[in-house]
Homo-oligomer: A and B are copies of this chain.
Amino acid sequence: MKHIFYSLVLLLSLSACKENPSGEDGAMTSTPEKQRDSVQDFAIVIHGGAGTILKENMTDSLETAYEAKLTEAIQTGYKILQNGGTSLEAVQRTINVMENSPLFNSAKGAVFNHEGKNELDASIMDGKTLNAGAVAGVTNIKNPINLANEVMVNSEHVLLSGKGAEEFAEEQGLEIVDPSYFFTQKRYDALQRTLEQEKTAKKDTKTAFYDPFIKDDKYGTVGCVALDKNGNLAAGTSTGGMNNKRYNRIGDSPIIGAGTYANNKTCGVSSTGWGEYFMRGLVAYDISAMMEYGGKSLKEATDAVIQKKLTNMGGTGGIISLDNNGNVSMEFNTPGMYRAYMNDKGELQLGIYKELQK
């Protein structure tokens, strides 16, 4: 009876979905994927943040730099997967490449908080065991995604924060750097501009959050989802959070189910965008739940969650995701999202703006 029930649900779901093509509400849709409904032996997808990324604001050399770094990052993970490595290893090493680059709002390139410090958040999840690890507000860990992994593997906790997380990192022998390592002139100047604007804005605790200039600085995160040859999904996310953030704000990146989720039954997801909306909407887990309980495909679920639910709430950003066959969805409702996907044949899809470049 149970089997028949689920088969019927699936059949009905599929027929219902044909009448509801994605993007029906006229919401902005990302580029359709070339790979759909195929079965990949392994696959990997990354993002380097979503936001108001427009070609007219980008120099050729900067565009080339982003393309090169995204390609380097995804190839790092691809090689690990091709050689039979785990999705967890691929996710970490791929994110490390982006964490070590000043191009992305993550580790080396992290934005500054209101006090002129860099506070880093990261999380990782293992789709096989549903184990997870995360850190929030660390200031001296070179690669926060590696610390998130240590929390998952070597503690009984899921989320550690601040000084306590740093103490745990030292005990585990992670690479510690002086906080000045995270200084970049570009991010520092961005903070100074924001602080200058605040002085002239009317005194209102909400002002900083509504400023359209600052809004763009909300975005910027790096993330990776990988499927390995053993069929195990993993997902990870790492960020510097929000420029000029205060009050030890924690965003969605270290929150399992909001910024990161992986489950071999369904999919792996990493989010980037206006974190508060991703937390209220449980965006990463919501995609999985829609697949598991609602019988949706990855493409249908990501379209519904990003283009309809998130958009209707007023949230902006995007996700990268793989289902357990290696099908990809890179969905966002912003003008751009740094992103790349590689299938088991090593074919690359790479994009910054709405349309894919490669």
**What is the oligomeric copy number?**
2
Q: Does A9 contact B (CB under 8 A)?
A: yes
A1-B16, A282-B282, A289-B286 are contacts. A276–B206 as well, Cβ < 8 Å? no
The reply to whether A159 and B205 form a contact with Cβ atoms under 8 Å apart is no
Chain B's closest residue to A275 (CB) is: B158
Contacts of A292 in B (CB 8 A): 293
A1-B16, A12-B9 are contacts. A130–B280 as well, Cβ < 8 Å? yes
Q: Does A192 contact B (CB under 8 A)?
A: no
Q: Does A249 contact B (CB under 8 A)?
A: yes
Contacts of A132 in B (CB 8 A): 279-280
The reply to whether B155 and A136 form a contact with Cβ atoms under 8 Å apart is no
Which among A78-86, A183-191, A251-259, A320-328 touches the partner chain? A251-259
Q: Among B15, B20, B206, point to the contact of A156 (Cβ < 8 A).
A: B206
Interface members, chain A 28-81 (any B CB < 8 Å): none
The reply to whether B162 and A248 form a contact with Cβ atoms under 8 Å apart is yes
Interfacial residues, chain A to chain B (CB-CB below 8 A): 1-2, 5, 8-9, 12-13, 15-16, 19-20, 130-132, 136-137, 154-165, 167-168, 171, 205-206, 209-210, 246-251, 255-258, 275-276, 279-282, 285-286, 289-290, 292-294, 313
Pairs A–B under 8 Å by Cβ, sample size 11: A1-B16, A1-B19, A2-B16, A8-B12, A131-B280, A154-B205, A157-B247, A158-B275, A161-B248, A161-B250, A257-B285
